[in-house]
Copies of this chain bind each other. A is one copy, B any other.
Amino acid sequence: MSSSSKSALSALGRRSDAPPITWLMILALSRPKLISLAAGFTDQETLPNTETLSLLTDILGDSKRGKAALQYGTTQGDPVLRELTSLRLLQQDQAAVARWAESRCDSAGNRSAVSATSLDVSAYAPERMILTHGSQQLLYLTCEALCDEGDIVLVEDPTYFVFLGIAQSRAIDCRGVKLDPDGLDLDSLEAQLERLKKSGEIKKLKFLYLVSYYQNPSSVTTSRAKKAAALKLLRRYERAAGHPIYLLEDAAYRELRFEGDDVPSLLAEPGAAERVIYAGTYSKPFATGIRVGFGLMPEALQTVCLRLKGNHDFGTANLLQQIVARSIQTGIYAKHVAMLRKRYADKAAVILHALEENLPSSCSWLKPNGGLYVWTALPKHAKAGQKGKFFQAALDAEVLYVPGEVCYAEDKSRPRPANEMRLTFGGASEDAIREGVRRLGKAVGKFYGKS
């Protein structure tokens, strides 16, 4: 890039770094024998081509319905799909809350005060929803609507690295909050908030970004109690901030649960609708080639996001919305998700078994209850980063992972662990997973010993 053409760029343009995905893909493409345990692709075999064709035959085979699907929709998104999504989410939360109350009753021996009917139905209203080009677009719109350069967002340590890419590009200052195996560390959250309050930076804090279900990259789920407590904690600092502090709940992997109970979303908490932005998606649980995500949010914010979305693209491709709506109406969606959960449960078992067999006891990993990832730690002193010798050795053995350090915000107030890897069992076949982990195990053995 010549310096003169560079100077025509905006500050945003000049600043935006290449995302990690770029060099990961270049590596993958340049090595045809490479087994990728890196790419967040979904399982190829189970992609619903027959089901999608049958849905499209229903839609396009009917002249009126077909032509409506091929015309522009609205910026906010198809009313029917919003209605279906809203109802589905409400029912999901009602069931999750009921199950939660039941489990508390079991353990505490008395009836919980919370009942499923106590949910604030208006929090789930289709009017509060925007349908987006994948939930990624909702993350982008939220950042645009809320954050100026230099504004602060709290993120988990580690967090979804593409979100960090948005933040880097838009000069949003991300601060890390510790993540425990059962979710966000509340003490760490409070400590960050206190620090921001003391320094006066709290005025720049706009939201907490929480990937609450089977998190990318760690597979950790944040419990209902922790989510509710985090929301309360944020509210306590609003006076110091001088404005609302939102909580963006990214539920991208919620549908991909294969063990344990579903956790109620933050929308189920009383009054949460005023502060919670809930982002979900149909892409990962149905087909990633069909990009439809959705978000529910407070009205003031929604008004702005709709204006921005209008400028981005007027609205999400209507045909895709119709496929998703019909998949829900016909039950094809529910059936597909049920099958997919079983499939990922099997693939998770394969990778966990392979890790057990091939990695020395100096390594550890978190057992996922859903999602696509196994967050794996090499010994503490190990360096798994892109520029390190271990990453190169893995590459030489034809296996690719995502270095864990790209999942940590640039927050100088704490060290950034360098010994972690994000492995995925999403895209690779069972054989590839086994072989990939075997290769990885060999590299680990060479570098860090076999025990």
Please list the residues of chain A having a beta carbon within 8 angstroms of any beta carbon in chain B.
Answer: 1-2, 4-14, 16-19, 21-22, 25, 41-42, 44-45, 47-50, 52-53, 56-57, 60-61, 63, 66-67, 69-75, 133-134, 136-137, 140, 144-148, 151, 162, 165-166, 169, 206, 242-246, 287-291, 298-301, 303-304, 307-308, 310-314, 316-320, 322
Q: A12 contacts which chain B residues (CB < 8 A)?
A: 144-145, 148, 308
In the complex, which residue of chain B has the Cβ closest to the Cβ of A323?
B319
> In the bound complex, do residue B303 and residue A1 qualify as a contact, i.e. CB atoms below 8 Å apart?
yes
- Identify the interface centre among A70, A300, A303: most chain B CB within 10 Å of its CB: A70
Alpha-carbon separation in the docked complex, A274 to B73 (Å): 36
Q: A313 contacts which chain B residues (CB < 8 A)?
A: 133-134, 136-137, 140, 291
| CB contact between A49 and one of B1, B63, B151 (< 8 Å): that residue | B63
- Identify the interface centre among A134, A165, A206, A298: most chain B CB within 10 Å of its CB: A134
Chain B proximity of A38: nearest CB distance (Å): 13
Q: A146 contacts which chain B residues (CB < 8 A)?
A: 8-10, 13
> In the bound complex, do residue B41 and residue A50 qualify as a contact, i.e. CB atoms below 8 Å apart?
no
Alpha-carbon separation in the docked complex, A304 to B57 (Å): 39
Chain B proximity of A54: nearest CB distance (Å): 9
- Supposing A242-B7, A287-B319, A307-B18 touch, asked if A66 and B44 sit within 8 A by C-beta, the answer is no
Q: A19 contacts which chain B residues (CB < 8 A)?
A: 307, 310-311
- Supposing A41-B72, A146-B10 touch, asked if A319 and B290 sit within 8 A by C-beta, the answer is yes
In the complex, which residue of chain B has the Cβ closest to the Cβ of A293?
B313
| CB contact between A320 and one of B2, B11, B288, B320 (< 8 Å): that residue | B320
> In the bound complex, do residue A299 and residue B71 qualify as a contact, i.e. CB atoms below 8 Å apart?
no
In the complex, which residue of chain B has the Cβ closest to the Cβ of A52?
B60
- Supposing A10-B151, A320-B317 touch, asked if A301 and B5 sit within 8 A by C-beta, the answer is yes
- Supposing A16-B308, A169-B311, A317-B133 touch, asked if A70 and B291 sit within 8 A by C-beta, the answer is no
Q: A291 contacts which chain B residues (CB < 8 A)?
A: 313, 316-317
Count of this chain's copies in the oligomeric assembly: 2
- Supposing A5-B300, A13-B304, A18-B307 touch, asked if A137 and B72 sit within 8 A by C-beta, the answer is no
Q: A8 contacts which chain B residues (CB < 8 A)?
A: 146, 206, 243-246
- Offer 9 A-B interface pairs, CB within 8 angstroms, sorted by A: A10-B144, A22-B310, A44-B67, A47-B67, A49-B67, A52-B319, A53-B66, A140-B312, A312-B312
Q: A319 contacts which chain B residues (CB < 8 A)?
A: 52, 287, 289-290, 320
- Identify the interface centre among A290, A314, A320: most chain B CB within 10 Å of its CB: A314
- Supposing A151-B10, A162-B311, A308-B169 touch, asked if A53 and B47 sit within 8 A by C-beta, the answer is no
- Supposing A10-B146, A53-B57 touch, asked if A169 and B307 sit within 8 A by C-beta, the answer is yes
Alpha-carbon separation in the docked complex, A146 to B16 (Å): 12
With A42-B72, A162-B311 known, 6 other A-B pairs at CB within 8 A are A47-B70, A49-B63, A49-B70, A53-B57, A169-B308, A289-B318
Q: A314 contacts which chain B residues (CB < 8 A)?
A: 21, 134, 136, 162
